[in-house]
Structure 1
Amino acid sequence: MSTGNATHKLGNPVYPIMFAIGLCHLFNDSLQAVIPAMFPVLERDMGLTFTQLGLISFVLNIVASVLQPVVGFISDKKPMPYALPLGMVSSFVGMAGLALAPQYWMILLSVIFLGFGSAIFHPEGSRVSFMAAGSKRGLSQSIYQVGGNSGQALAPLISAFILLPLGQIGAALFLIVAGVGIFLLTKISIWYKKQLEQESLAKKKKTILSSLPELTKKQVGVALTLLLIIIFARSFYVTNMTSFYIFHLKEHYNFPTEKGQLFIFIFLALGAVGTFFGGPMADRLGRKNVILLSIIVPIPFCLILPYVPLFAVVVSLILIGFFIMLSFSVTVVYAQELVPSKIGTMAGLTVGLAFGMGAIGAVVIGILMDHVGVYDTMIIVSTLPLIGLVALWLPKDRKITVQRP
C-alpha cells in the first residue's frame, strides 16, 4: 500500500504550472459560485422556495460528485490531457443557459452542464497539480485548492455587486471567465501531454511515496471511511454557511442582503487563507495533526454562532472559516497517500464527496428551513462539526525526508 522507506528523490516543482492550474481552479469554482450567489435573486424575482433553491444546489453538486470519481478512475487508467478545456466548455454552455433561463427547469438543466464541467476539471486538475509538485506536494495541493476556495469565496461579492443590481442576466459576465479558462487549460493540457510522452519514452513508472506506514487493505478501508465522514461533516456545514446563512443574518440581525453577503465573504475568504496554509503546515506537522486541528478548534465557535451578538459573529466567522478549511487540501493528499496507485480516483472521490455532501446538505437544510424555520435550522447545523472527531482514529502519518539529487 505504501513504501516503508521515508527517503525518496522527488523532482523540482514546476511553479508556472502549479500557479496556472490554481488560477484555473479559481475560474472553475467562481463559475460554480454564481449558483449560491444567485439564490437571493431567484428568491426575489422568481419566488422560489428554500426547498427549490436547495434542489438547484443538489442538482449541481450531485452531478459533480457522482462523476468525479468516475473521471478519476478512467484517467488513472488512461490520462486525458485535453479533457480539461472540454470541461470548461461545458461550464461555458451552462453559464450561458443560466443567464438566459426564463423557467425553473431550464435553470436545473443549466446547472447540469456546470456540474459536468466541474466533474471533469477537479480530478484532472488535481493530477496536474500532483505532477507539477515535485518535492512540494503539500504546497502544490494548497495552491491548487486555494484557487478553488478563492473562487467560492467570491460568491457573496458576485451576489452583492453583480447579480443583485443586474439580476439573472448578470451571470453572462462570467462567460468571459470561462473563455479565459478554456484558453489557459488548453496551454496546460499541452504541457500535461508532453509530460506523459516523456514518461512513456523513458519507460519509467513513477513511484508514489506515502507518509503513512504500511497498512493492510482493511486498515486502508477503515481510514478512508473515517476520512469521508470528516469530509461529510465539513461539507454539510460549509454548504449551510455559503448558501443559507445569509437568511439567518437577514432574519436574526435584520441585515440587508448586500451587507449580509459581506459577512459570508469574510467566512469564505478566511477559508481560502486556511486552505493555503493547511498544505505547508501538514508537510511540517503531519497530515493527521492538521486534520485534528481543523476539527477541534472550530467546534466551540460553531456551537455558539447561532446565539452570539453581532460583534462576536465576525470573530466567530473568521476563526471558523480559517480552521474548518485548514484541512481541505490535506484530506485530498491524505487520501492519495492511502491509495497511492489511484491519484485521480482519490482526488475525484474526496472532492467529489465534498460536492455530493454539499448537494444533500442543501436539500436537507432547505427542507428544514421551510418546516422548522431558519433559526432552529442554524442550531441543528451548528452541531455537525462534532462528527469530525472521528479523525482521532485516523492512522498517524510521518514526515517524508526528501533526498535532493
Structure 2
Amino acid sequence: MNEKVILVGVETESNFRYFESSMDELRGLTKTAEGEIVFILKQKRPQIDRQTILGKGKLEELKQLVIAHEANLVIFNHELSPRQGQVLAEILEVKVLDRVQLILDIFALRARSKEGKLQVELAQLEYLLPRLAGQGNQLSRLGGGIGTRGPGETKLETDRRHIRNKITQIKRELKEVAAHRLRARKQRQDKNIFQLGLIGYTNAGKSTILNILTSAQTYEQDQLFATLDPLTKKWRMPEGFEVTVTDTVGFIQDLPTQLVDAFESTLEESKEVDMLLHVVDAHAQDRLQHEQTVAQLMQQLAIVDIPILTVYNKSDLIGEEPFVPTLFPNVCISAKSNKGKEDLIRAIKQQLMEQFEPYVTTINATDAKQLYEIKRQTLVTSMEFDELKQVYLISGFAPAYHQLVRIQIDEEDLD
C-alpha cells in the first residue's frame, strides 16, 4: 500500500523563476518513489524560515492537513538541515523527508548492479550520518517505506563509528569496481572502438534511443531515473561501422552533491567517449532549464572538449508552434518512430564524417578479411569493383587514430 504524502514548497526571492517546475518535478519524483500525493502545500515568503522552512501559521495548517488527510509522510522541496528535519518531525509527528532523501530513495529503488547499490548506500549513509540524532526513535516508530530503502533501519540505528567504518569499506569496494571498469574501458580504447555516450536530463529518452540503436532491451519508462547503472552496448551502423553506445544516469536540477560525488565513477564513462549524444525532451516546459542543468553538471564533472550532437527527442508531442532549437548541431526526432531512427542515424553519420578524416584505398577482391575490417572500423561511403584489376576501390571516413589515416598522412609527408 502506497504511503500518503503531502508535498511542501516555499517560493522565495531566490527560487521564484523555477519554483513551479521544481514542484512539478517533486511530484514526479514522489510518484516514481511510489508515494500517493494527497495534498500540495505552497507558500510565498521573501525567504524560508531558518527553523521550520514554513511560517508559523502555515506550519499549523500543515499539521491540520496531515491529520485531515491521514498522511504518513511529508516531503519538503528543500534540503533540510539535521536540526530542521528533527524539529519538523517532532511538530508534525510523521516522517519528514527532503528532496535529497527522496532522490536517494529512488536511486535505491532503481539500483541493479553491485556498483549502483554500493554508490546509493554510500550517498545515503554520508547524507544521513549528521542526521542520526533522533532518527532512531522516528524510524522505529514509523517502520519502512519511502526514505528507508537502501541502508534500512538497522544500519541507521547503529552508532556513528559503525557507519563511518561502513562508508570506508564501501569506498574501498567502489575503488575496486572503478578499476575494473577502467580496465574494460581501456580494452575498448586499445581495440580502437569508437565510443558514443548518451547524456541528458532524466526522462529525456536516453534508454529509448539506446534501445532503437542497439536493440539492448533496457528498462525504459516515463519515469524519473528509470536508468541508474551505466550500460554499454555495441551498435553496427548500416554501413557496417561498429561503435559502442553507453547509457548513463539522468541529470536533474539541484542534483545532491553526495550523488555527484558518489556517481562520479559511473559518469566517468561519459568523460572517455569520442562523441556525446545530448538527449533533450523537446516537449518539456522547462527545456532551457534542463539544458542549462546538464551544461553546468558537465562543467562540474569536467566533461569538456568532446563533440556533442544534441538530440531533441519527443518531437511528436510538440504542438503546432514551430520548434526553435537552442543547441547546435542538433537533430529533432521522435525516438518511437521509424523516421526518427533514420533521422538520428543520418545526423550521427554526418557528425562522424565531420570529425573523421577522408580516405581512399584499394583492396584485392580475394582479401575478404581486410574488406570486412575496413567496413567494421571505418565509415565506408563508396565501394566500387574494378573488374579489370580485380580490386575494390573504397572511399570513406576514418577516425584519426586509424592506420588508413596514418598511412595517408605519411604518404602526404613524403610528397
Same fold, TM-score > 0.5, yes or no: no
RCO comparison, higher one (Cα < 8 Å, 6+): 1
Say which structure is richer in helix: 1
TM-score interval (norm. to shorter) = under 0.3
